[in-house]
A and B are shown apart, each in its own frame.
Chain A
């Protein structure tokens, strides 16, 4: 259930009629009002204008929606991949697993990089939040939260604290201290309170403010020091699963995606929903801004990722393939925005060329679904967190020495229309339409390395 208004059973004198009765604590334009239920009804009736009924309002909204589609359609003069035809194709990527971080006892649900480009914080289903040093594989800090399913974690910009939240409906901030013996859990501070699980959290440009998204359908901006709610964002009609802040220094917008299949862009100061995009066919699991801040990508359970431009106010690209039938759980852009890394529930990460809309590479190696992919702040590495309890860090090989692409071995018939990555390692069903999970592989390899692939060539 989505709580558009925060309802709590408190008892006391009503603000308008001064009678003591059970109160409905509702928020009108972010102002808290405590009225008894009778006064709420009276207030709602007063708002009715002459001749306005549900039916007329519905018709008006339909007309407005149609008009919006028309306006957006007028500007769609060319597709992104057509504009990008003249651009050189991406050279073969040489991504290799550089580190495997093992230590979580259960599914890793979220990961975030620190601004110093080497530390990571990850959270898992068993309630543990671990801070790693990715270069040395050291576990620097570990906090155990009393709840399970810590679905969101974030590193503070200063590197001095981490925020985490999940099924406990709260988001807590834990200051990291250099003293190893100190019990971090004791210093944990609850900042955000929601009425349903916390699905995503992020610090704004400073350590002082925290933005959270929740299963109760709202996003909220909190002051870390006092725990006060600074702004709340209502507009989603179902759980909000993900949020991302605009990358600019002065930016004060963020995008959120939820189970109502909509991605909304919000203004942080006014709480207003500026733009809304509804073209996905299923829940949006993850949203991420393009590095320039003018566009964003979203990953959804309908097995597609879509790219939306904010200034053109429409979807400009769809990243999909017939062979991809599992939902996408996470997206992230590379530093220049040319590559889009997307993690799927079929245990793979697909790398797409953002401009041309084609798939450049598949990364294999995880043994369960990918929950989060994150590119490091300086763009040198990609970290992927998975339900197989581990995190993997992929980086590039040396410049000017890409591993040669795999030979074209019996490319599957159904993907003739797109440049298919040669799948020397896949096992096909007799009709060539379905793939068996690549769980047999336990190593990240660029598909060119035929030593692993030869055993499983389709006969």
Chain B
């Protein structure tokens, strides 16, 4: 609020002296400071209010999500693991011949 008052006062004063270019840059400079400080005064309470409202809406949405029991979810996770365990090279290993990262071997030309 304080800064906005200053702005309007000084803006008016500069207008009176007729230096348009300076007013423009001065206004933009102060505006930049205001925005980077996340705006003081009325704006803060309004943005807090809208943040809180958004939060409440979000929580209402999350509360309405359909949930299943952990035992069922865990059973399905376990089933997925066991079903795919055979294909998991890092878990069970691969036969030496097909390992793409084996040591490069030299071939003897017969």
Footprint of B on A, CB under 8 Å? 1, 4, 7, 9, 11, 22, 24, 37, 40-41, 44-45, 47-48, 52-54, 57-58, 60-61, 64-65, 67-68, 71-72, 75-80, 83-84, 87, 90-91, 93-95, 98-99, 117-118, 134-135, 235, 272-276, 290-292, 294-295, 309, 311-314, 316, 334-339, 354-355, 375, 378-382, 393, 395-402
Which residues of chain B from 62 to 97 have a CB within 8 Å of any chain A CB?
A: 62-63, 65, 67-78, 80-85, 87-96
B10 at the interface (CB under 8 A from A): no
Taking A9-B35, A60-B56, A395-B101 as contacts, is the C-beta distance between A339 and B93 under 8 angstroms?
no
The CA of A380 and the CA of B98, in the complex, are separated in Å by 10
B94 touching A71, Cβ below 8 Å: no
Instruction: Note all chain B residues with C-beta closer than 8 A to A83.
Output: 71, 74-75, 78
* A382 to B50 Cα, complex, angstroms: 46
Write the nearest CB–CB distance from B82 to chain A, whole angstroms: 7
* Closest-CB distance, B39 to chain A (whole angstroms): 8
Chain A positions within 8 Å of B52 at CB level: 54, 57-58, 61
How far apart sit A95 and B90, CA to CA, in the bound complex (Å)?
Answer: 8
Given A336-B84, A398-B95: A382 in contact with B67 (beta carbons within 8 A): no
**Complex formed: what's the CA distance from A309 to B70 in Å?**
8
Partner of A336, one of B32, B38, B58, B85: B85
B50 pairs with A71, CB closer than 8 A? no
User: A93–B90 Cα gap in the complex (Å)?
Assistant: 8
- CB-based contact A44/B56 at 8 Å: no
A45/B45 contact (C-beta < 8 A), A60-B56, A80-B77 known: no
Which of A75, A272, A337 interacts with B77 by CB under 8 Å? A337
Quick check: A54 and B49 within 8 Å, CB to CB? yes
28 contacts between A and B (CB under 8 A): A7-B35, A9-B31, A24-B35, A44-B47, A44-B49, A45-B46, A54-B45, A67-B63, A72-B67, A83-B75, A87-B82, A94-B93, A118-B100, A275-B62, A292-B77, A309-B77, A337-B80, A339-B90, A339-B91, A354-B81, A355-B77, A380-B100, A395-B100, A396-B90, A396-B94, A399-B92, A399-B94, A399-B96
Q: B27 touching A87 by the CB < 8 A rule? A: no
Name the residue of chain A whose CB is nearest to the CB of B80: A292
Contact B78 A355 (CB under 8 A): yes
Write out the residue numbers on chain A whose beta carbons fall within 8 Å of the beta carbon of B102. Answer: 98, 395
B107 proximal to A (CB < 8 A): no
Residues A76 and B70 in contact, CB atoms below 8 Å apart: yes
* Chain B contact residues, CB within 8 Å of chain A: 27-28, 31-32, 35, 38-39, 42-43, 45-53, 55-56, 58-63, 65, 67-78, 80-85, 87-96, 99-103
Using A60-B56, A79-B74, A83-B74 as known contacts, list a sample of 19 further A-B pairs with CB atoms less than 8 Å apart, ordered by residue number in A.
Answer: A9-B35, A41-B46, A54-B48, A54-B49, A67-B63, A83-B71, A87-B78, A272-B61, A290-B80, A309-B73, A312-B73, A335-B91, A336-B84, A336-B87, A381-B100, A397-B93, A398-B94, A398-B99, A401-B93
B103 to chain A, nearest CB (A): 8
Q: A44-B46, A379-B87 are in contact. Are A117 and B100 (CB under 8 A)?
A: yes
What is the minimal beta-carbon distance from A90 to any residue of chain B, in angstroms?
A: 7
Beyond A57-B56, A273-B58, A355-B78, whether A98 also contacts B101 by CB under 8 A is: yes
Most A CB within 10 A of own CB, among B32, B35, B67, B77: B77
Bound Cα distance A263, B47 (Å): 24
Which residues of the other chain, A, contact B94 by a CB distance below 8 angstroms? Answer: 380, 396, 398-399
Bound form: Cα–Cα A393–B81 in Å: 24
With contacts A57-B56, A83-B78, A380-B89 known, is A78 near B101, CB below 8 A?
A: no
State the CA gap A163–B110 with chains docked (Å): 46
What's the least CB distance linking A53 to chain B, in Å? 8
Residue in B27, B67, B90, B92 whose beta carbon sits within 8 Å of that of A71 in the complex: B67
CB–CB B59/A313 < 8 A: no
- On whether the beta carbons of A135 and B35 are closer than 8 Å, the reply is no
| Structural contact, A338 and B59, CB atoms closer than 8 A | no
Q: Within 8 Å CB of B51, what residues of A?
A: 4
CA distance A118 to B100 in the complex (A): 9
The answer to whether A335 touches B59 (Cβ under 8 A) is no
Which are the 5 A-B pairs with shortest beta-carbon distances? A336-B84, A64-B59, A336-B88, A44-B46, A98-B101
With A and B bound together, what is the CA distance between A87 and B83 in angstroms?
A: 12
How near does chain B come to A40, taking the closest CB pair, in angstroms?
8
Give chain A nearest CB distance to B17 CB in angstroms.
Answer: 21
B78 — which chain A residues lie within 8 A by C-beta? 83-84, 87, 355
A275 to B53, CA, bound (A): 18
Asked if residues A78 and B74 are in contact (CB atoms below 8 Å), the reply is yes
- When the two chains form their complex, are residues A335 and B87 in contact, meaning their CB atoms are under 8 A apart? yes
Residues of chain B within 8 A (CB-CB) of A335 are 84, 87-91
Chain B residues positioned under 8 Å from A379 (CB to CB): 87-90
User: Please, which residues of chain B bring their CB within 8 A of the CB of A117?
Assistant: 100
Contact present for A311 and B89 (CB under 8 Å): no
